A and B are shown apart, each in its own frame.
Chain A
């Protein structure tokens, strides 16, 4: 699971530069939460596009931890990138006044999708491509809001496990306090990733790596000392949330169907 952070940085910087500029964009836009993933993605984005070409959005809701919001603003300052701070409380609350619920998950998903909506709005205002911040662990475990924080145009961290993002963060010089912070989606007070999933990243990453990267069997992983229940849980999460990693499915009717045998690259003609 070790990575050569220098090589990873070089590759991801080139990836962002290439996949953004060839579509005629100079700029990128990114949501900053004050957490590790968005900070690392912003560091890479600023290096790829230049600080003048990365725009950060800090999007607090009334329950957001003010520490995270301050850290997000501070990161924008450290990188020297333009940022907009837009409070999204009003539009969330007006919706739930009319459609009340006590379900934290519903409210959390709504917040994540509102942020997505603002980020895409700013991508058009700024003529900038949306840089995503989802890592491989959360993509595999389905720990993200479909069409919320999972939505983006380019996602530099999508092939790095959370523990690898930590490694990369240290190499990139991300401030210590961001690296030491307990990972959280901060969608309600006291929420933590590991608490909500009932999994430790360090364990989840090792299991995912063995099963999917090294193609080891479930039995092998359990034999090498991992708790059977945890292994089962991880595998069932990966399976259950496969839909979040795909585009909407289309029923085949014609001889040429999008998503089936209409096989064109996204980077068509660029």
Chain B
């Protein structure tokens, strides 16, 4: 695994709702800017190729992972790793809320959102099938795991990635802002709380990338952040501002944390599996 200092680009992006081609054009411009600044990875938010409030538009905008639109991203990924979100039509024609990771000229990973929110203002289960696979993959940043939006609010998913050896966590999000009574949006605090806990106790870098802009009155907060294995927020983007941010991360901080704090070594995964397989208390 490579250690050392790396520049990553966080695109706190505002998509054009339901316009794949314009979003692809805009993505390519952002990627070119990131390449100019020698970033090694650029991350866009959830559903960045399409926008969030798609509803029936999902059927028109879903693409298969072998689509020709991805050719330009493959080409650009010879110079920079790229992550974005899109509506995926799988081989069986079912539709997923997915991310794509491009590196070295290839599409190396598709991740499908597992925990689809379906309450209050959310209706993702109406339009998407939930994913069922959680596998970290090798990149220049380590064993990389991806979680999409609400996935990140389930410590069990982050823990499963930790168990499977992930040490670099990318979380892409479309979190609608809500709660205006405190210092900042109350919805935002929960993302940072989760990020700080995962990065510290699972010894990972956590990169959380949230979108901005409004769709039918839903505002998306931005406030993308990076938290490090000391549990510190080392970068926080402003709320509501569309921009491309560059963050220096030092992977040796992570590697040191893994050696010294040794949470991975001292965890007993077999015991945890046994605890869970013993069943719930009320079953006894």
Binding site for B on A (CB under 8 A): 2-4, 7-8, 10-11, 14-15, 18-19, 261-270
Contact = CB atoms under 8 A, between A and B. Distances in A.
Nearest to B177: A11
Given A261-B56, A265-B54, A265-B216, 11 more contacts: A8-B180, A10-B240, A11-B240, A15-B214, A15-B217, A19-B217, A262-B56, A264-B57, A265-B53, A265-B215, A267-B214
Interface in B181-216: 181-185, 213-216
B138 interface: no
B216 A4 contact: no
B219 interface: yes
Contact of B182 (A4, A261, A269): A4
Contacts of B55: 263-265
Interface of B: 16-19, 53-57, 177, 180-185, 213-217, 219, 239-240
**Majority-rule SS of B interface residues:** loop
Nearest to B127: A263
B57 A15 contact: no
30 contacts: A3-B180, A4-B180, A4-B182, A4-B183, A7-B185, A10-B240, A11-B219, A14-B214, A14-B219, A15-B219, A18-B214, A19-B214, A262-B56, A263-B55, A264-B55, A264-B56, A265-B17, A265-B18, A265-B53, A265-B55, A265-B57, A265-B215, A267-B17, A267-B53, A268-B18, A269-B16, A269-B18, A269-B19, A270-B16, A270-B17
B141 to A, nearest CB: 32
A135 to B, nearest CB: 15
B25 to A, nearest CB: 14
Contacts of B213: 18
Nearest to A10: B240
B56 to A, nearest CB: 4
Contacts of B53: 265, 267
A18 B213 CA distance: 7
A134 B55 CA distance: 28
Contacts of B56: 261-264
A10 B181 CA distance: 13
Contacts of B215: 265, 267
A266 B53 CA distance: 9
Contact of B180 (A11, A264, A266): A11
Nearest to A4: B180
A181 B239 CA distance: 35
B24 to A, nearest CB: 14
Nearest to B53: A265
A116 to B, nearest CB: 21
Contacts of B181: 2-4
Contacts of A265: 17-18, 53-55, 57, 215-216
A11 B236 CA distance: 18
Nearest to A164: B180
Nearest to A18: B214
B12 to A, nearest CB: 13
A262 B59 CA distance: 12
A71 B278 CA distance: 72
Contacts of A268: 17-18, 57
Ranked 5 nearest A-B pairs via Cβ: A263-B55, A18-B214, A263-B56, A265-B53, A14-B240
B99 to A, nearest CB: 22
A269 B219 CA distance: 17
Contacts of B183: 4, 7
B216 to A, nearest CB: 5
Contact of B239 (A10, A19, A269): A10
Nearest to B56: A263
